[in-house]
């Protein structure tokens, strides 16, 4: 007893100490607005220097074709270029390919390639190199990861001449060109890929603005400016060699350490600022906060429609009305994250903005719907029907990444009010629980993607023998729309198709969209010109460090 | 002496083998499929999964997988990481020095603070020094390591700017992580040394020494401490093992390179060859530590030395 009291005293003492210390840090005073992807146009003439940038997790490999992690993209974007680039408005512009044409049937693309480009190892960039890359992704020996999903429905390519290549698809795809702009389909040096094999990830060679220098595992990745570079895409101002000499990506998984190292000037910038630190950083006269919403699927909770009673739209709608997403997002992210309204995030082609404000919490409606469906509250306050309790199995696979475990806890409390018992299971082993046993009623996921065709993998009826989708939705009408959306070449019609799909998913309460994840970077005021691409990944071509 | 060491070494080999088998079994029986963890579950096709499984030899029965693994290991081939195909042995050898440096410095901090405060607090029982020593002991034991680490970063890195908050370049980046671990260790040692000193001080032989007119200083440091150290050395030996394990947390908090980070990542990814390799190496360290503890007994206590000889 005595011991526990004194223990608590020390803890309280320590807590006070921390509060005093962090309080000191926040007393900056001068106002400072959040930069939305800082302009960088009026930047001074500073050249050289080393940008230190703290990453939240370690990249798995620097081989774009084999990577499965978003964090990798922050680093490989500097080393590799793509054939095309996507602008924030969704349009596709030239990069390593200068122009292209699509065949009548939409199944083949002919690319004219930029001349005079060399890989960092001196290998010339040409049609052979592009063919090698595309074939490499679909070669099982490569063990390609996410890039394989992006390259579908690629079948083959033909070298027409040194700088012309024809790419053939199995079926038309409107997502294909946009996918070619994604960093995971970056073009690697064929010479290096053959030389290093599965070790290319440790010896990456591309055509990008920075060349690889070294990677000390769990410590840092260093890239240096590529002096010969002069083929930057439209997303950046500086098309030529970067202004800074080197970038050092430091790997700092612990939040407090990452933020601490920016504040102590040990690094010039750090990614993924936790919401609770955002206010303090905004008030820090030496720091700036950069923010870009990621594009694709927002963090979305999927009902497993294959399991009763979640196959009943009324029950799902009851939950939709009972869960107060607005207050969850406000409480957990302190106003720094946007609430999601649709299956797609704002900023992607076809986003249905009319859904904003469409669903609002309504406990009476939730109760009424459940009563109608015969779910009656028992003595313990939990609803039951035919002797079976209304229980929702909520599975979350992250060690509270972006406070996702807390979302589960709040939903558990909110649904208790309408008589639904929520069992929360937190497990790292999503592969087994979700994808093998389908043992969940509600499970959350998000995806960074440049094309609304991303919806296909989540809502289209899965083919015989293929793994089922997360939602388990199977509706011929939606299948047809998703198939049309994949091939429709008229942009307006495409927007209309995806609008309909999103409308349906909310009306039928197939999902509960939760929040749009902003990619946040805290940086010293000395750093200018960090930009973000259309997916929300940082670009370092324009960066300058003021002395 | 030599004979004792030799016989200890042979049992040590058994311990190392046992640890390898045990970890292999645990990793094998853990739920979850490493192949599914390696591929993106939402885009991988069943045939991709199957191909990868065959390539990695995971379609073979358990005993064949284990026999292959162990055979290769005896030949010095610890295999390749399933995640990025890095060879395991060079990876461990590359990261081991950083962890050893961290463990060594934190042991020195822990032992220095621990023994000094432990002895002083026993001698000045219930005084101010005793209070401070017990506070340090309690703090070290009860604070979670990552919490202490973050406190030190906030104070010495963000506020005072004396030491870097993270990284593994040079001595200055070693100070805060070693202090974090050292404080934990010191907490245990202070309590241990204090208790055993108090016990020894009340023994009849101390009274006898006083009666012979020896100075208090000579009694305390020449006789009492020597006797009190025997149990402390056992604790310190085990503690260094704990510090080695503590590097998992500290290396993550301070973003240092090292074995702790490697094994944490490998466990998350169910990267069997890497986990096996690290366990093999750490079990060697544990065994060697135990051996050193046993040998040190005989230097501190002549009775043990004599018993060994007969």
Query: Could you read off the pLDDT of B277-301 as tens digits, one per residue?
Result: 888 888 888 888 888 887 777 777 7
pLDDT > 70? residue A37:
no
Chain B's closest residue to A399, CA to CA, is B268
Q: Which stretch of A225-229, A503-507, B194-198 has the lowest confidence by average pLDDT? A: B194-198
Tokens of B43: 């885009």
Question: Which residue is associated with the tokens 């609304």?
Answer: A452
User: Which range is most confident: A166-170, A197-201, A279-283, B197-201?
Assistant: A166-170
pLDDT > 70? residue A31:
no
Query: Could you read off the pLDDT of B34-88 as tens digits, one per residue?
Result: 776 666 655 566 777 777 778 777 778 888 888 887 888 888 888 888 777 788 8
**Does the CB of B143 have a partner CB in chain A at under 8 Å?**
yes
**Does the CB of A15 have a partner CB in chain B at under 8 Å?**
no
Query: Could you read off the pLDDT of B5-17 as tens digits, one per residue?
Result: 788 788 888 888 8
Residues with Cβ < 8 Å from B5, sequence gap 6 or more? B291, B295
Share of chain B above pLDDT 90, in %: 6
Residues of B within 8 A of A254 (CB-CB) are: 146, 150, 252-255
**Does the CB of A106 have a partner CB in chain B at under 8 Å?**
no
Q: Spell out the alpha helix ranges (H) of A55-145.
A: 70-79, 127-138
Q: Spell out the alpha helix ranges (H) of A417-475.
A: 430-433, 456-459
State residue A208's pLDDT score.
Answer: 96
Residues with Cβ < 8 Å from B295, sequence gap 6 or more? B1, B5
Query: Could you read off the pLDDT of B259-275 as tens digits, one per residue?
Result: 888 888 888 777 888 88
State residue A34's pLDDT score.
Answer: 36
Note whether A255 and B154 are within 8 A (CB). no
Residues of A within 8 A of B45 (CB-CB) are: 466
Residues with Cβ < 8 Å from A44, sequence gap 6 or more? A528, A544, A546
Pair type for strands A108-113 and A164-169: antiparallel
Residue B43 or residue B242, greater confidence? B242
Distance CA A200, CA A542 (A): 27
State residue A19's pLDDT score.
Answer: 46
Tell if the CB–CB gap between B167 and A219 is shorter than 8 Å. yes
**Does the CB of B258 have a partner CB in chain A at under 8 Å?**
yes
Q: Residue A43 forms beta bridges with which residues?
A: none
- Average pLDDT, stretch A506-535? 93
- pTM for the structure as a whole: 0.80
Option in A60, A149, A250 nearest B255 (CB): A250
Share of chain A above pLDDT 70, in %: 92
Note whether B172 and A43 are within 8 A (CB). no
**Does the CB of A219 have a partner CB in chain B at under 8 Å?**
yes
Tokens of A340: 């999601």
Q: Which stretch of A108-122, A286-300, A429-443, B97-111 has the lowest confidence by average pLDDT? A: A429-443
Q: Please give the span between the terminal C-alpha atoms of chain A, in angstroms, as a whole number.
A: 57
Tell if the CB–CB gap between A25 and B151 is shorter than 8 Å. no
Q: How far is B194 from chain A (nearest CA, A)?
A: 18
State residue B43's pLDDT score.
Answer: 57
Q: How far is A267 from chain B (nearest CA, A)?
A: 10
Residues of A within 8 A of B36 (CB-CB) are: 431-432, 435-436
Three-class DSSP category at A143? coil
If we measure between CA atoms, which residue out of B237, B236, B239, B250 comes closest to residue B98? B250
Tokens of A339: 């609430």
State residue B39's pLDDT score.
Answer: 65
pLDDT > 70? residue A27:
no
State residue A32's pLDDT score.
Answer: 36
Residues of B within 8 A of A468 (CB-CB) are: none
Query: Could you read off the pLDDT of A150-205 as tens digits, one per residue?
Result: 898 999 999 999 999 999 999 999 889 999 999 999 999 999 999 998 889 999 99
**Does the CB of A82 have a partner CB in chain B at under 8 Å?**
no
**Does the CB of A148 have a partner CB in chain B at under 8 Å?**
yes
Q: pLDDT confidence of A20, banded at 50, 70, 90?
A: very low
Distance CA A126, CA A144 (A): 22
Q: How far is B92 from chain A (nearest CA, A)?
A: 11
State residue B224's pLDDT score.
Answer: 83
Residues of B within 8 A of A465 (CB-CB) are: 46
Distance CA B54, CA B72 (A): 18
Q: Spell out the alpha helix ranges (H) of chain B.
A: 2-29, 34-38, 46-55, 62-74, 88-123, 128-142, 145-152, 172-201, 204-211, 216-217, 225-253, 259-268, 272-300, 302-309
Q: Residue A363 forms beta bridges with which residues?
A: none
Tell if the CB–CB gap between A22 and B261 is shorter than 8 Å. no
Give the angle A471-A476-A479 at the CA atoms, nearest 5°: 65
If we measure between CA atoms, which residue out of A68, A78, A62, A70 comes closest to residue A448? A70
Q: How far is A144 from chain B (nearest CA, A)?
A: 8
Query: Could you read off the pLDDT of A491-500 as tens digits, one per residue?
Result: 899 999 999 9
State residue B44's pLDDT score.
Answer: 63
Size of the A and B interface in Cβ pairs below 8 Å:
155
Q: How far is B104 from chain A (nearest CA, A)?
A: 20
State residue A41's pLDDT score.
Answer: 43
Residues with Cβ < 8 Å from A464, sequence gap 6 or more? none
**Does the CB of B264 have a partner CB in chain A at under 8 Å?**
no
Distance CA A199, CA B84 (A): 8
**Does the CB of B16 have a partner CB in chain A at under 8 Å?**
no
Q: How far is A163 from chain B (nearest CA, A)?
A: 32
Query: Could you read off the pLDDT of A332-368 as tens digits, one per residue?
Result: 998 889 999 999 999 898 999 999 999 899 999 999 9
Share of chain B above pLDDT 70, in %: 92
Q: Residue A167 forms beta bridges with which residues?
A: A109, A157
pLDDT > 60? residue A53:
yes
> What ipTM was predicted for this assembly?
0.75
State residue A365's pLDDT score.
Answer: 94
**Does the CB of B146 have a partner CB in chain A at under 8 Å?**
yes
Residue-wise over B91-117: b if at least 16 C-beta within 10 A, else e?
A: bbeebbebbebbbebbbebbbebbbeb
Tell if the CB–CB gap between B165 and A431 is shorter than 8 Å. no
State residue B213's pLDDT score.
Answer: 80
Q: pLDDT confidence of A4, banded at 50, 70, 90?
A: very low
State residue B32's pLDDT score.
Answer: 67
Query: Could you read off the pLDDT of B123-163 as tens digits, one per residue?
Result: 888 889 899 898 888 988 888 888 888 888 889 988 888 98
State residue A51's pLDDT score.
Answer: 96
């Amino acid at each position: 007893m005595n011991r526990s009291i004194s223990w608590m005293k020390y803890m309280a003492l320590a807590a006070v100490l921390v509060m005093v210390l962090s309080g000191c840090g926040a007393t900056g005073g001068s106002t400072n607005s959040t930069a939305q992807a800082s302009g960088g146009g009026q930047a001074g003439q500073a050249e050289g220097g080393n940008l230190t940038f703290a990453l939240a997790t370690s990249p798995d490999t620097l081989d774009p074709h084999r990577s499965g992690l978003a964090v990798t993209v922050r680093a490989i974007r500097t080393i590799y270029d793509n054939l095309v680039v996507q602008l924030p408005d969704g349009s596709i512009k030239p990069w390593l390919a200068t122009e292209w044409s699509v065949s009548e049937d939409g199944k083949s693309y002919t690319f004219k390639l930029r001349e005079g480009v060399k890989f960092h190892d001196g290998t010339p960039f040409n049609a052979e190199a592009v063919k090698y890359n595309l074939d490499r992704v679909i070669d099982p020996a490569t063990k390609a990861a996410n890039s394989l999903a992006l390259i579908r429905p690629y079948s083959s390519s033909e070298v027409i001449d040194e700088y012309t290549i024809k790419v053939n698809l199995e079926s038309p795809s409107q997502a294909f060109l946009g996918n070619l702009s994604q960093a995971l389909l970056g073009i690697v040096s064929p010479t290096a890929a053959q030389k290093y094999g599965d070790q290319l990830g440790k010896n990456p060679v591309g055509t990008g603005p920075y060349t690889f220098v070294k990677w000390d595992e769990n410590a840092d990745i260093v890239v240096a400016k590529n002096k010969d570079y002069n083929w930057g895409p439209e997303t950046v101002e500086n098309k030529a060699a970067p202004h800074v000499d080197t970038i050092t990506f430091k790997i700092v998984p612990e939040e407090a350490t990452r933020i601490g190292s920016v504040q102590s000037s040990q690094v010039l910038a750090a990614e993924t600022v936790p919401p609770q630190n955002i206010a303090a950083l905004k008030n820090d006269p030496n720091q700036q906060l950069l923010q870009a919403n990621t594009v694709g699927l927002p963090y979305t909770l999927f009902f497993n429609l294959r399991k009763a009673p979640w196959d009943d739209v009324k029950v799902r709608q009851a939950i939709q009305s009972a869960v107060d997403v607005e207050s969850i997002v406000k409480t957990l992210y302190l106003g720094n994250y946007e609430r999601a309204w649709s299956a797609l995030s704002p900023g992607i082609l076809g986003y249905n903005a009319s859904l904003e404000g469409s669903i609002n919490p309504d406990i009476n409606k939730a109760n009424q719907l459940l009563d109608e469906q015969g779910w009656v509250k028992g003595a313990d306050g939990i609803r039951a029907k035919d002797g079976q309790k209304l229980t929702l199995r909520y599975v979350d696979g992250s060690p509270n990444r972006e406070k996702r475990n807390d979302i589960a806890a709040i939903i558990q409390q909110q649904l208790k009010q309408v008589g639904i018992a929520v069992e929360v299971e937190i497990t790292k082993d999503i592969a087994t629980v979700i994808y093998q046993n389908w043992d969940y009623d509600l499970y959350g996921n998000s995806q960074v993607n440049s094309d609304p065709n991303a919806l296909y993998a989540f809502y289209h009826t899965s083919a015989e023998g293929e793994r089922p989708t997360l939602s388990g939705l199977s509706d011929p009408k939606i299948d047809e729309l998703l198939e049309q959306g994949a091939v429709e070449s008229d942009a307006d019609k495409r927007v209309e198709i995806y609008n309909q799909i999103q409308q349906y998913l909310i009306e039928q309460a197939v999902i509960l969209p939760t929040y749009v994840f902003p990619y946040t970077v805290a940086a010293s005021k000395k750093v200018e010109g960090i930009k973000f691409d259309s997916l929300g990944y940082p670009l370092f071509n324009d960066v300058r460090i003021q002395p | 002496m030599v004979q004792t060491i030799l016989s200890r070494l042979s049992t040590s080999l058994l311990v190392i083998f046992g640890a390898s088998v045990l970890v292999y079994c645990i990793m094998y029986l853990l739920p979850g499929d490493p192949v599914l963890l390696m591929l993106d579950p939402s885009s991988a096709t069943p045939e991709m999964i199957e191909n990868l499984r065959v390539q990695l030899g995971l379609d073979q029965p358990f005993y064949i997988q284990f026999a292959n693994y162990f055979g290769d290991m005896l030949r010095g081939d610890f295999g390749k990481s399933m995640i990025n195909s890095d060879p395991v042995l060079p990876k461990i050898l590359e990261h081991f020095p950083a962890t050893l440096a961290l463990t060594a410095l934190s042991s020195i901090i822990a032992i220095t603070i621990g023994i000094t405060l432990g002895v002083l607090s026993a001698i000045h029982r219930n005084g101010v020094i005793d209070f401070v020593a017990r506070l340090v002991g309690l703090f070290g034991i009860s604070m979670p390591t990552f919490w202490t680490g973050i406190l030190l970063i906030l104070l010495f890195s963000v506020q005072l700017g004396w030491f870097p908050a993270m990284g593994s370049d040079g001595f200055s980046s070693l100070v805060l992580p070693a202090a974090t671990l050292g404080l934990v260790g010191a907490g245990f040692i202070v309590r241990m040394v204090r208790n055993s000193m108090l016990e020894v001080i009340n023994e009849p032989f101390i009274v006898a020494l006083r009666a012979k007119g020896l100075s208090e200083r000579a009694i305390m440091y020449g006789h009492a401490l020597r006797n009190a150290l025997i149990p402390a050395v056992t604790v310190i030996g085990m503690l260094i093992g704990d510090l080695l394990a503590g590097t998992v947390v500290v290396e993550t908090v301070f973003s240092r390179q090292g074995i702790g980070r490697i094994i944490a990542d490998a466990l998350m990814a169910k990267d069997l060859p890497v986990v096996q390799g690290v366990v093999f190496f750490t079990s060697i360290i544990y065994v060697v530590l135990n051996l050193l503890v046993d040998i040190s007994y005989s230097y501190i206590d002549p009775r043990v030395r004599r018993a060994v000889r007969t």
